[in-house]
Amino acid sequence: MKQLLKQGMAVVYLMLLPVLLPVLLPGTGKAALPEGQLRINSFFQAFDANPKAVLQSLPRKYDKFGQLISKAKPIFLQKDIQSGRFVSLKNRLRTSKMRIPLNADHAAVDAKNNPAPLLLTSRLLAVGSKVGKLGLANPLLNKGQLAILPWSGDYWPIYRGILASRYSEKSYPKSELWKPYADYFQKVLMVPTASLPSLDKLSPAEKYDILVGNGKQLPLTHWSLNESAKSVEADGKIQTWMGICHGWAPAAYMTEMPKAVVSFNLPTGQVLNFYPDDIKALISLLWANVNVPSAFIGGRCSDLKPKIDEETGRIKSADCWDVNPASWHITVVNRLGIDKKSFVMDATWDYEVWNHPVQSYDITYFNPQTKKTSKNLLDVMIPIGQFSKDKFTKYRAPTTKYIVGVMMDAVYVVESTASHNTELKNETNSSEVIYDLEIDGNGKLVGGEWYQNAHPDFLWTPGLGAKPIPDIEVGANIRWDGIGLPDSQVAAMAAKASSRGMPLSSIVYKLLDRSTGSK
């Protein structure tokens, strides 16, 4: 009876967390993240009473003002969440990112959990590094942030026509059914663009087609519409989560943010304006559809409902447990804290977050037995023998001698809705990730345990200096100053690339240069 009462209290406590946690800043209507000790106490009051319930809950998330996001809207259909089908749906897009590994050592040493390929100058702090004063226990590494922040952009959903979306047109449909869009385009594409009084409300794909000399055939526009039509399900709908966020996420930190409108005078007397979001759209599509060498850790779980430990709720399948907490910790601290480079976090088990560039982190360590928090790892690291409350004893690495708890606030950039606004966009949320680290007798990280199954499980990034260039463009040496219109010979090459959903890299990056004022 006492155990049932404790479990009931834990469930109630989890339900009350959105109400209990926000703490108002004095004199403001905004909330700050509660201090670490308060959040750790609230989390483990529920976890100790009912670990199974907490392990199967989603991590707490906060908006850019520190306000707890208590009712995040899932991006997947409820039926797909309940059945687990959302996992396989997302795995389709992962496949393309795993085709070209950055280097051979990814597969040479524990292919799923070796973070070395993601690290740059920070390789000295890779797996096997000590956690002493010169290692990961350095207090200076408790926080890290990029010098140049990634930019927010639209994910260009398939159900709205991808880059064929006339996002600034008031009459553009707003429906999850594809038929209204198909009917709309059947009508508007019959009107020659040369006869329009203004081209401003055209889609990014239409503007690109006109710029490269394909204004009559509109190959990139038709590719976008055909891709949408192919995604229609039996009920006439296209799942709203489907888009090109897997292209936006790396583009957001691999390229400079478009800032200014880029204009061209056409022979028809019309002005063709590319707004920053038009250019973001083309860059995102390029990164989505052109494969470049990438580093990644994690795997693809094919189990829609993986088996769990009935006592704790922990996922039992090694394939579905994915990235080890030690690999996650090393990647974040090294890549963001030292290298000052972003990476893409793809959290399949969290159906509210996936494919987002990470821009900063903040670590609070805690004693896993007493739950006392500290900014000093060595102050709260304890011998494994003192951890009598350990729920994961049978899963520990055999060489574990010490344990330390970690609460990390990982700040990631989120999408924004396309508009003609030229203001800078950098919308963020943060996710509270709680885990522990296993340390051997030599002070080396050997593993760890997640305290929620919905953890970051697939991390990836294009290689340093990578640039997406369609195969047809390699060696073509397209010369364009970005001011006048491209040479007429570009049209044929652009049409071939557009038929595969790829704008020409030389055209897109020249638009970017003009928009940023780089050249």
What pLDDT is stored for residue 118 in this prediction? Answer: 80
Q: At what angle do helices 245-254 and 276-289 cross, to 10 degrees?
A: 110
Q: Is the pLDDT of residue 244 over 90?
A: yes
pLDDT per position as a tens digit, 124-175: 443 344 554 447 788 888 999 999 999 999 999 999 999 999 999 999 999 9
Max CA-CA distance within the chain? 82
The pairing of beta strand 373-374 with beta strand 356-366: antiparallel
Q: Is the pLDDT of residue 489 over 60?
A: yes
Domain ranges of the chain: 49-153+292-462, 158-243+469-516
Tell whether the torsion through CA atoms of 506, 508, 510 and 513 is positive or negative: negative
The tokens describing 91, both together, are 């795995």
pLDDT-based confidence at residue 276 (cuts at 50, 70, 90) = very high
What pLDDT is stored for residue 343 in this prediction? Answer: 95
Q: Which residue shows structure tokens 């090459």? A: 493
What is the average pLDDT across 27-52?
77
3-state SS class at 181: helix
pLDDT per position as a tens digit, 185-242: 999 999 999 899 999 999 999 999 999 999 999 999 999 999 999 999 899 999 888 8
What pLDDT is stored for residue 78 in this prediction? Answer: 72
pLDDT-based confidence at residue 73 (cuts at 50, 70, 90) = low
Q: Is the pLDDT of residue 271 over 50?
A: yes
Under DSSP, the state recorded for 334 is I
pLDDT per position as a tens digit, 423-471: 877 899 999 999 999 998 888 888 899 999 888 888 899 988 899 999 9
The better pLDDT of the pair 10, 519 is held by 519
What angle is formed at CA 179 by the lines to CA 177 and CA 183, rounded to 5 degrees? 140
Q: Is the pLDDT of residue 300 over 70?
A: no
What is the average pLDDT across 17-23?
39
What pLDDT is stored for residue 362 in this prediction? Answer: 96
Per the CB < 8 A criterion, the answer to whether 130 and 330 are in contact is no
pLDDT per position as a tens digit, 313-335: 787 766 666 788 988 998 999 89
Q: Is the pLDDT of residue 50 over 80?
A: yes
Rounded CA-CA distance 232/60 in Å is 33
Q: Is the pLDDT of residue 30 over 50?
A: no
pLDDT-based confidence at residue 88 (cuts at 50, 70, 90) = low
Rounded CA-CA distance 296/343 in Å is 9
Q: Is the pLDDT of residue 258 over 70?
A: yes
What is the average pLDDT across 271-296?
95
What pLDDT is stored for residue 34 in this prediction? Answer: 54
The better pLDDT of the pair 11, 373 is held by 373
Q: Is 218 left (phi over 0), alpha (psi -120 to 50) or beta?
A: left
- HSE-up of residue 4 (Cα within 13 Å, Cβ side): 1
What is the average pLDDT across 397-402?
93
Rounded CA-CA distance 368/396 in Å is 14
What pLDDT is stored for residue 303 in this prediction? Answer: 60
The better pLDDT of the pair 454, 392 is held by 392
What pLDDT is stored for residue 242 in this prediction? Answer: 86
For the chain, how big is the Rg over CA atoms in Å?
Answer: 25
pLDDT-based confidence at residue 349 (cuts at 50, 70, 90) = low
What pLDDT is stored for residue 107 in this prediction? Answer: 26
Q: How far apart are the first and last CA of the chain?
A: 72
Q: Is the pLDDT of residue 40 over 70?
A: yes
What pLDDT is stored for residue 74 in this prediction? Answer: 66
Q: Is 318 left (phi over 0), alpha (psi -120 to 50) or beta?
A: alpha
Helix ranges (DSSP H) in 335-405: 377-380
The better pLDDT of the pair 479, 77 is held by 479
Rounded CA-CA distance 370/44 in Å is 10
Q: Is the pLDDT of residue 420 over 90?
A: yes
What is the average pLDDT across 483-501?
94
Rounded CA-CA distance 86/63 in Å is 24
Q: How far is CA 383 from CA 132, 378, 403, 457, in A?
A: 15, 11, 6, 28
What pLDDT is stored for residue 79 in this prediction? Answer: 75
Q: Is the pLDDT of residue 14 over 70?
A: no
Contact residues for 376 (Cβ-Cβ < 8 A; gap 6+): 137, 139, 365
What pLDDT is stored for residue 94 in this prediction? Answer: 55
What pLDDT is stored for residue 132 in this prediction? Answer: 46
Q: Is the pLDDT of residue 28 over 70?
A: no
Percent of the chain with pLDDT over 90: 56
User: Which residue, 250, 150, 266, 257, is CA-closest to 202?
Assistant: 266
The tokens describing 242, both together, are 């489907």
The one-letter amino acid at 501: G
User: Which residue, 226, 355, 209, is CA-closest to 278?
Assistant: 209
Helix ranges (DSSP H) in 68-145: 78-83, 85-97, 105-108
The better pLDDT of the pair 312, 117 is held by 312
Output the average pLDDT for the chain: 83
